[in-house]
Amino acid sequence: MSSHAPATPLGIDPAGTVHSSHEHHELGFWRRYIFSTDHKVIGLQFLFTGLVMLLFGGLMAMAIRWQLAYPWTEMPLVGKILFPETGGVATPEGYTMLFTMHGTLMIFFVIIPLLTGTFGNFLIPLMLGAPDMAFPRLNMIGYWFWWPGIVLILLSFGAEGGGPAAGWTSYPPLSTIETAAPGSLQGQNLWLLSLTFVGVSSMMGAINYVTTIVKMRAPGMTYFRMPLSIWGLFISALLQLFALPVLTAAGFMQLFDRVLDTGFFTPTNTTINGLTPEAGELAAGGHPLLWQHLFWFYSHPAVYIMVLPAMGFASDILSVNARKPIFGYKPMAYSMAGIAGLGFIVWGHHMFMSGMNPAVGLVFMTATVLIAMPSAVKVFNWLGTLWGSSIRLNTSMLFALAFVSMFIIGGLSGIWMACTAVDIYIHDTYIIVAHFHYVVFAGSVLAIFGALYHWFPKMFGRMMNETLGKIHFVGTFIFTNGVFYMMHQLGIAGLMRRTADPYAYETFAHMQPMNQFISICAFCLLFWQVFFVINFFGSMFLGKRVGRNPWKACSLEWVAPSPPGHGNFDRELAVHHGPYEYGVPGQREDYCPQTVEIDAAPTPVEEPVLA
Amino acid sequence: MKFNLFRVFVVLLFLAVPVLGVWTFVDAERWKMWFPEGVTTYAGEIDFLFDIILWMVAITFVGTEFLLVWAIWRFSKKEDGKVTYTHGNHTLEVVWSAVPALLLIFIAFSQMGAWSTIKMNFPDEGPYTVDAPMMEVIAGQFDWWVRYPDEEGNFRGEDVIDVPFDIHVPVNTKVVFRLKSRDVLHSFFVPKFRLKQDAVPGMSIPVWFEATETGSYDLICAELCGWGHYKMAGRVHVLEEQEYEDWLSQKRSELYAND
């Protein structure tokens, strides 16, 4: 326990930055920073690794955009690295590899680890008032199980025939028959093994999150006093627990098909390039649709894993900076559960055109459109939260507001593709690309930025620079829309995704100028992240030091020192009410931390906030 | 003062989303960024269903985005001002849960007619049926093979006609064909027909359409099938009935001449 903390009415040390752990025991460098069992260090490990992978995935997106804007011309900067044999000009098989790996990296190595790995680890114990995760060692192993996945996926670039190139969905038989694509040689095996490691890593995380949330809440922290960030992380962890085993099993089935010549997904009498297949494949007796069912049984819930925590972060940031309780707390929690529950019975909407029985499509359609209902409830409640509030337009708030604005677009465009008849035309066109990038990039990634600006003071004990942050926000917001908005119209005009050079078709020949506009916006979007990188790393060392609660927020993580020491809290915690008690009438301050009873709230002792 | 200017700028930024968003949709047709002209009997129905959703989506989009912009403008005026202390409103929650739910169920049911027409109810009279299709379309890396049966309607044997890449069909006729793949997944997509169907190895999937205008149209592979996916282009030629008959008999006579 900190020795120099005078007992204030809140029991909070006004000096703020207390490293109480150091008085207990000193850990060596390796145990403290590398093989740490501290949830905060593991969270930061996920953060830094995830940001590096974000850069890789982003560069791949740029290569894709170059090819779509200026097909078969020399790609500047990354071209020589990606396509050394052709002097920097993309090859058709290289292009298929690029979008396969862009999708794979962004989903499994960026978005899911940043949302659940980083913020799940960092926030869950802090927001619940727990000293650490339920299984700290499992938590550490979880992070280190991610690394074989990273190594294998990076190695696959150098595999014979190049990286995997069957799309991030990896549909057989393209992915299972070695002669079907260059990337289906060794590259696909590495892809499957990599995803297995990533899955095990996520599983360990999910077990930890669920156990911690169920068993380690501080006294008084009932389920319905948890911040919505925790609800988002809790529900997405449950989704992972139920869905991931299916993907892992399916991945092994595909690996067996490839390595042991089993025939789960290979139909009888498949010939590739006119070659008679091997004896085993002749009578394989499998079915390609089986993979699609298994894959989407995981990967559709995975879409909600990629957005539910972001919804939680946005809710928390909105409420703190609107200085007003979240509107409809319980409907917000129930709607997340509703999205997750429905999320398990809608996977077939990826398969409307697949040859699946069309009657089944009708069932999947009805379930799918209904997901828009809880999503709408969330949007209305966010608007309700802002109504009658007093908004602080700081950087994290701007990103949270942008999340709401962008999620409206991504959510609404989903209705078209949920509808079987309309989907006949728009399936696999750019309107789909627009839709999922509005949810996952303009939604989740912007929410991640907002969450980083919001929780950075807790992570590092310093503020990020607000001016740089606002510059970062404005450019990111403009260029994000510049990149993704017109993809809707391209899709409505029929433009197909995953085509290396669409302009050879009469239908698409006139679309190159629009694609050039989109690509230029994409290059600017990536370049603009320089402001974030400078701000993020600069503020880590030069940012203004802050106390425990710079945003004057109610939830428990702001009761801990910034950054919290080992064991997180330097006092006993008792939770008296929900996490969003802002603007309570008759109080001297406009917020009541969860540790303070409302009717007896004294003036919280805390230094002022910057604008 | 600096803060106030920034506030105006932010509001304009968020306002640009619905304004530019609607404008680009309104003007899309002028830039040829909209549906290509539909040339089958069911194309109009799909476009109509799209438009129904478009109107609902547009109204919701503009409404919610303007509310958001207004909220940002109105409630960021004063910092640390008085706020309305409320945790929600039960009636509002019920209304904004029930209304979207009803609209969405309406949308789902409105789709079912067109979907079953296109994918489930195949013509059971007329020259071509599921059991006596006009042709087989066999997709493979990276070509389309179109196979017309011999005069007895058999798809096996010496007298079947195989045509690469080009599909010839008569106008104003319910054309039923079977879609197959000989290797990996492909997808049969003719944008102007509003028709898309995956080709799956091991399956023989019936597909139908009735073209209403003669002409040549792009046939595009819409499911990733390997490195050559982007250039797996075919053409569908919709001919007058007599032209089609002439083309078919010419093909047959070429076949017999080769024997």
pLDDT tens digit string along A376-413? Answer: 999 999 999 999 999 999 999 999 999 999 999 999 99
Position A585 in a domain: yes
Whose CA is closest to A202, among A239, A165, A231, A252? A239
Domain that holds residue A610: 1-35+547-611
The C-alpha atoms of residue A483 and residue A523 are separated, in whole angstroms, by 9
Nearest chain A alpha carbon to B219? A505
pTM for this model (two decimals): 0.93
Q: Are residues A135 and A245 in the same domain?
A: yes
Q: Are residues A321 and A222 in the same domain?
A: no
User: What residues in A contact B72, CB-CB < 8 Å?
Assistant: 386, 391, 393, 401
Domain-wise residue ranges, chain B: 2-78+87-120, 135-258
Which residues in chain B (34-73) have CB-CB distances under 8 A to chain A? 34-36, 45-46, 49-50, 53, 56-57, 60-61, 64-65, 67-68, 71-72
pLDDT at A282 over 90: no
Position A259 in a domain: yes
Total structural domains within chain A: 3
pLDDT in tens, A117-128: 999 999 999 999
Position A292 in a domain: no
Four-CA torsion A244, A248, A254, A260, nearest 10 degrees: -170
The C-alpha atoms of residue A30 and residue A47 are separated, in whole angstroms, by 18
Position A131 in a domain: yes
Token digits of residue B27? 């003007």
pLDDT in tens, A441-468: 999 999 999 999 999 999 999 999 999 9
> Please, which pLDDT band fits residue B80 given cuts at 50, 70 and 90?
low
Position A298 in a domain: no
Secondary structure letter of residue B163 according to DSSP: E
pLDDT at A7 over 50: no
Give the strands of the sheet with B233-239, arranged side by side.
Answer: B166-170, B233-239, B215-221, B186-190, B195-199
Could you tell me if A73 lies within 8 Å of chain B, comparing CB atoms?
Answer: no
Fold held by B135-258: Immunoglobulin-like (2.60.40)
Token digits of residue A359? 């009657």
The C-alpha atoms of residue A471 and residue B46 are separated, in whole angstroms, by 43
pLDDT at A231 over 70: yes
Q: Are residues A6 and A49 in the same domain?
A: no
Q: Which residue, of A268, A283, A299, is where some domain finishes?
A: A268
Q: Are residues A156 and A7 in the same domain?
A: no
pLDDT at A15 over 50: no
Mean of all residue pLDDT scores within chain A: 91
The C-alpha atoms of residue A180 and residue B184 are separated, in whole angstroms, by 8
Q: Are residues A25 and A69 in the same domain?
A: no
**A101 CB-near residues (< 8 Å, 6+ apart):** A57, A60, A153, A157, A163, A164
Position A540 in a domain: no
Which residues in chain B (8-27) have CB-CB distances under 8 A to chain A? 9-10, 13-14, 17, 20-21, 24-25
User: What residues in A contact B78, CB-CB < 8 Å?
Assistant: 390
pLDDT score at A81:
87
- What is the ipTM for the molecules in this complex? 0.95
> Please, which pLDDT band fits residue A12 given cuts at 50, 70 and 90?
very low
Strands B135-140 and B175-181, by their bridges, are: parallel
pLDDT score at A177:
87
Whose CA is closest to A522, among A465, A453, A476, A554? A476
Of residues B36, B79, B93, nearest to A494 (C-beta): B36
Position A227 in a domain: yes
The C-alpha atoms of residue A71 and residue A65 are separated, in whole angstroms, by 9
Could you tell me if A505 lies within 8 Å of chain B, comparing CB atoms?
Answer: yes
The pLDDT > 90 percentage for chain A reads 80
Q: Are residues A453 and A436 in the same domain?
A: yes
A502 HSE (CA, 13 A, CB side) = 27
Q: Which of A118-122, A326-330, A412-416, B122-126 has the lowest mean pLDDT?
A: B122-126
pLDDT at A601 over 70: no
CB-CB neighbours of A525 under 10 Å:
24
Q: Which of A46-55, A280-289, A500-509 has the lowest mean pLDDT?
A: A280-289
The CATH number of the domain holding residue A132 is 1.20.210.10
The C-alpha atoms of residue B193 and residue B38 are separated, in whole angstroms, by 6
- In this structure, chain A runs to a length of 611
Position A280 in a domain: no
Q: Which of A4-13, A239-248, A431-440 has the lowest mean pLDDT?
A: A4-13
pLDDT score at A134:
96
Could you tell me if A499 lies within 8 Å of chain B, comparing CB atoms?
Answer: yes
Q: Are residues A528 and A595 in the same domain?
A: no
The C-alpha atoms of residue A496 and residue A433 are separated, in whole angstroms, by 9
Question: What ranges in chain B are assigned the alpha helix state H?
Answer: 2-27, 43-75, 90-115, 241-258
Q: How far is CA A52 from CA A47, A114, A159, A490, A554, in A?
A: 9, 11, 22, 31, 32
Which phi and psi angles does B134 have, rounded to 5°?
-70, -35
**B229 CB-near residues (< 8 Å, 6+ apart):** A92, A96, A498, A499, A500, B142, B221
> Please, which pLDDT band fits residue A6 given cuts at 50, 70 and 90?
very low
> Please, which pLDDT band fits residue A9 given cuts at 50, 70 and 90?
very low
The mean per-residue pLDDT over the stretch A462-478 comes to: 97
Of residues A93, A489, A504, nearest to B28 (C-beta): A489
